[in-house]
């Protein structure tokens, strides 16, 4: 239910406190326009200090945030109910700044940090490109050599059947560059929420409509997949001239192995591990994934911390399907995935048992157990989806 303009005005006036004057107008598009003014302060030209923000609830928040900063800065002794939200307002301001690359530009769908976290080495996106007067093809983009600042982005073409066409081009890009690709002039861009059906499922998106004279481009950025848009459509003079849509997106990690799996189970070469056997950590809920690592140290922890009293064992294993960075161990204490820890929906084939591995010192093991116990106590569960 949308509250009436006068009810909104009253609510905002109460929140803003006695120093404020609050008015809601309608703009040319019949959208609410929030105006919060200060009954004491004068701006340039002897007019009352005031801030205007368009939009429904967003406009209210934006105007109120601006007012909160005015109160804190100019009237340190003043009291108003809205001051209870000063921390939240600061957080939103920070968020907005991170999303705005340059003044006069609309906020980008993702910050550079969000893109870095969402594009691990090995992430591969295939998009179908339909351009007027050209045979459709797949554009493949793959992230490799990711670090704090950026990555190498490999781009190539495939036929619709997945056959490589031409060469792979590789360019170094920064996360900041990728963020800036989605930075458009405020007056040219309209940003809305939309859920769309795609080849990889229904995705909750931010839709950016960008107009430039005769051309209109619409980009859909999936909120859960920071990085490039998962669909875009270009219109010229009202006619669709190009459509680009996601075909698949894999987070497959870029690691040649060899791979290990630590456990307390006794296994034979040729055995296969499938998701569904109890998780090593947390409350023991059924795992949706099987974990593997390319470091003996991480496998050692797996063997030592697995549930049960049997001695720990480490096996050389081979993934039989795609695997991805383990989100429980990626971008945590250190950026990236230094422990080369992965997960797969399986199965994982046992190649051989690793003999003679070095256990962690008893003291280190106890520290790790205490840490996991503490996480459990705080209700922190392993990411399992």
* Between 39 and 195, CB nearer to Zn ion: 39
Query: What is the closest distance, in whole angstroms, from the C-beta atom of residue 57 to Zn ion in the complex?
Result: 24
Among candidate residues 153, 163, 157, 116, the one with its CA nearest the CA of residue 140: 157
What is the number of H-type helices and E-type strands within the chain? 7, 19
Question: Contact region for Zn ion (CB under 5 A) — 36-44, 161-169, 181-189, 216-224?
Answer: 36-44
Regarding 352 and contact with Zn ion (CB under 5 A), the answer is no
Query: What is the closest distance, in whole angstroms, from the C-beta atom of residue 212 to Zn ion in the complex?
Result: 40
CB atoms within 10 A of CB 169: 10
Can you read off the two tokens belonging to residue 35?
């105006």
Helix (H) or strand (E) holding 226: none
Regarding 43 and contact with Zn ion (CB under 5 A), the answer is no
Q: State the angle between helix axes of 296-305 and 362-377 in degrees (0 to 180), rounded to the nearest 10.
A: 70
Among 16, 20, 22, 38, binds Zn ion (CB under 5 A): 38
Beta strands at 341-344 and 323-325: parallel, antiparallel or unpaired: antiparallel
Regarding 40 and contact with Zn ion (CB under 5 A), the answer is yes
Regarding 41 and contact with Zn ion (CB under 5 A), the answer is yes
* Between 23 and 128, CB nearer to Zn ion: 23
Query: What is the closest distance, in whole angstroms, from the C-beta atom of residue 60 to Zn ion in the complex?
Result: 19
**Residue found under tokens 């280190």:** 364
Query: What is the closest distance, in whole angstroms, from the C-beta atom of residue 16 to Zn ion in the complex?
Result: 11
Q: How far is CA 234 from CA 95, 155, 205, 230, 364, in A?
A: 29, 21, 18, 14, 57
Cis peptide preceding 135, ω within 30 of 0: no
* Between 36 and 182, CB nearer to Zn ion: 36
* Between 78 and 180, CB nearer to Zn ion: 78
* Between 83 and 278, CB nearer to Zn ion: 83
Question: Contact region for Zn ion (CB under 5 A) — 10-18, 34-42, 324-332, 357-365?
Answer: 34-42
Question: Contact region for Zn ion (CB under 5 A) — 35-43, 143-151, 244-252, 304-312?
Answer: 35-43
10 Å CB burial of residue 260 (0-12, 13-18, 19+) is buried
Of 59-78, binders to Zn ion (CB under 5 A) are 74
Report the interface residues with Zn ion, using CB under 5 A. Answer: 38, 40-41, 74
């Amino acid at each position: 239910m949308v509250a009436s303009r006068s009810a909104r005005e009253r609510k905002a006036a109460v929140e803003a406190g006695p120093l404020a004057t609050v008015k809601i107008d309608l703009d040319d598009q019949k959208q609410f326009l929030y105006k919060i003014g200060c009954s004491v302060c004068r701006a340039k030209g002897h007019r009352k200090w005031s801030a205007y923000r368009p939009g429904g609830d967003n406009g209210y928040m934006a105007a109120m945030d601006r007012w909160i900063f005015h109160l804190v800065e100019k009237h340190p002794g003043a009291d108003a109910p809205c001051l209870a939200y000063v921390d939240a307002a600061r957080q939103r301001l920070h968020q907005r700044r991170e999303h705005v690359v340059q003044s006069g530009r609309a906020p980008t769908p993702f910050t550079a940090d969000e893109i870095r976290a969402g594009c691990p080495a090995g992430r591969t996106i295939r998009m179908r490109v339909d351009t007027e007067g050209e045979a459709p093809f797949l554009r493949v983009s793959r992230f490799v050599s990711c670090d704090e600042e950026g990555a190498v982005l490999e781009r190539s073409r495939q036929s619709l059947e997945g056959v490589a066409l031409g060469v792979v081009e590789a360019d170094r890009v920064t996360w900041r560059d990728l963020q800036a690709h989605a930075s458009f002039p405020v007056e040219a861009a309209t940003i809305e929420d939309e859920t769309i059906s795609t080849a990889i499922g229904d995705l909750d998106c931010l839709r950016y409509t960008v107009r430039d004279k005769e051309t209109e481009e619409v980009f859909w950025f999936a909120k859960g997949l920071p990085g490039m848009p998962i669909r875009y459509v270009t219109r010229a003079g009202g006619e669709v001239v190009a459509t680009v849509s996601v075909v698949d997106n894999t987070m497959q990690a870029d690691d040649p192995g060899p791979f290990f799996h630590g456990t307390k189970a006794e296994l034979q070469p040729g055995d296969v591990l499938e998701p569904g056997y109890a998780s090593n950590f947390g409350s023991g809920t059924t795992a949706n994934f099987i974990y593997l690592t390319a470091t003996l140290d991480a496998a050692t922890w797996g063997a030592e911390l697995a549930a049960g009293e049997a001695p720990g064992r480490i096996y050389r294993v081979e993934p039989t399907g795609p695997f991805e960075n383990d989100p429980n161990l990626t971008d945590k204490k250190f950026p990236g995935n230094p422990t080369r820890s992965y997960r797969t929906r399986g199965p994982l084939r046992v190649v051989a048992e690793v003999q003679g591995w070095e256990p962690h010192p008893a003291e280190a093991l106890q520290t790790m157990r205490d840490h996991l116990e503490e996480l459990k106590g705080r209700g922190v569960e392993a990411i399992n989806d």
